[in-house]
Amino acid sequence: RVLFRSLGDEQTFSDIMKEAIEQDPNNPALYYNLGIVSRNNGNFEDAESYYKMSIDVDPSYLNSYYNLIELKISSTNSFREEIGDLGFSKEDETKFNQLNDKIKQAYRDTIPLLEYVISVNNDELDIKQLINIYNALEMYEESAKLKELLPVRSEEHTSELQSPDHL
């Protein structure tokens, strides 16, 4: 990132990353950086490919998982916008179903990625994200199992107002 900021030119940065890959093809950060540049340029398919290459090189490189998850989930935004523009005709109903299927597929694609990330770091936010995806896909049994991994909140940590004992 420091190199990219000092260059200020994504194409030059991308060229340097590709040259670096020739020298060090087993460095997942190089593919990851190309994924970021591709994402920033709107080349989502290339970004996905680079993140996957980074994971292939080093399956424990979590940054690539996170960016791939974000890429998949953000891809649903355009489908949702299209759904919002639909009317009530038979054609629109067909289009709605097609777009909804694409959203569900994007969510299904994130499941193994999130499951891996959770297996490594057991992060509460990742668990909640996967629970939301399970619920969106009506995978309620999986969601319930995953909820068991969430920490139990004690009464003293709730946001409800407590009456003082001394009054």
How do residues 70-114 score in pLDDT, each as one tens digit? 999 999 999 999 999 999 999 999 999 999 999 999 999 999 999
Mean pLDDT value of segment 126-145: 96
d(CA 108, CA 121): 21
Average pLDDT, the chain: 86
Distance of CA 60 to the CA centre of its chain: 16
Supply the pTM of this predicted model: 0.80
Compute the 3-state secondary structure of the chain and give helix, strand, coil in percent, each to the nearest 5.
Answer: 75, 0, 25
Provide the pLDDT for residue 46.
Answer: 94
Spatial neighbors of 19 by CB under 8 A, at least 6 apart, are none
Integer Cα distance of 54 and 36 in angstroms = 12
pLDDT over 80 (residue 50)? yes
Give the span between the Cα atoms of 22 and 31, in whole angstroms: 11
